[in-house]
């Protein structure tokens, strides 16, 4: 069905709805006139109206997803907040703890990764991904399958692509 036919159907439906409302409420006709005018605009400018509606949808979509745009990291159903500042990749400490199912305080986690942590704008503890990978390789439970998969994930999907991007510059 082409856009003009869709617009005509929408316009006819709007006119019918306006007529029904007008006849049921016994209004003085202003509502029916407004609905008919809207139907006329729909019938006359279907492509422009469709383009405007699609543009509005795109703007809304970009606005809604702006805070997560470009971050598509998740492990085991847990979304990971990862940032790349051009020199290092950083992962949120609370995300690491959720994946590993630990409950250490931020200062304990920062002490484990001495010199490889910072706070972001929201005061969230961020750890360097390469330091997390080294710590996972050296920790007591390094043979745990979840730890091994998480370490491989960080290497394969975070560190290596970042190194390739930096080398391409």
pLDDT on residue 26: 60
Give the contacts of 99 (CB within 8 A, at least 6 positions apart): 75, 76, 78, 80, 146, 150
> Where are the domains positioned within the chain?
3-65, 74-168
Q: What average pLDDT does the segment 90-100 reach?
A: 95
pLDDT on residue 95: 94
Beta bridge partners of 126: 92, 118
Mapped to the 3 state alphabet, what secondary structure does 76-103 carry? CCEECCEEECCCCEEEEHHHHHHHHCCC
User: How many whole angstroms separate alpha carbon 18 and alpha carbon 24?
Assistant: 10
Give the contacts of 74 (CB within 8 A, at least 6 positions apart): 80
Beta strands in the chain (DSSP E): 74-75, 78-79, 82-84, 89-92, 117-119, 125-128
Q: What average pLDDT does the segment 129-147 reach?
A: 93
**Neighbour-count burial for 30-55, b at 16+ CB within 10 Å, e otherwise:** eebeebbeebeebbeebeebeeeeee
> With 60 as the cut, is the pLDDT of residue 147 above it?
yes
Question: Mind listing the pLDDT tens digit for each residue in 6-56?
Answer: 888 888 888 887 777 666 566 566 666 777 777 777 777 778 878 888 888
107 CA to centre of own chain = 30
């Amino acid at each position: 069905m082409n856009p003009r036919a869709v617009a005509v159907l929408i316009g006819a439906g709007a006119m019918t709805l306006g007529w029904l409302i007008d006849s049921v409420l016994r209004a003085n006709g202003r509502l029916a006139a407004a609905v008919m005018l809207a139907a006329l605009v729909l019938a006359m400018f279907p492509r422009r109206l469709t383009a405007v509606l699609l543009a509005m949808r795109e703007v809304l979509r970009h606005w809604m997803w702006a805070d997560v745009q470009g971050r598509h990291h998740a492990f085991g159903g847990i979304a990971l907040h990862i940032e790349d500042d051009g020199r290092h990749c950083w992962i949120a400490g609370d995300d690491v703890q959720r994946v590993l199912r630990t409950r250490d305080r931020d200062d304990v986690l920062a002490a484990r990764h001495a010199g490889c942590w910072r706070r972001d704008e929201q005061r969230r503890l961020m750890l360097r991904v390469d330091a997390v990978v080294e710590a996972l390789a050296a920790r007591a439970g390094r043979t745990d399958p979840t730890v091994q998969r998480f370490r491989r994930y960080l290497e394969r999907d975070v560190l290596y692509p970042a190194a390739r991007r930096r080398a391409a510059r």
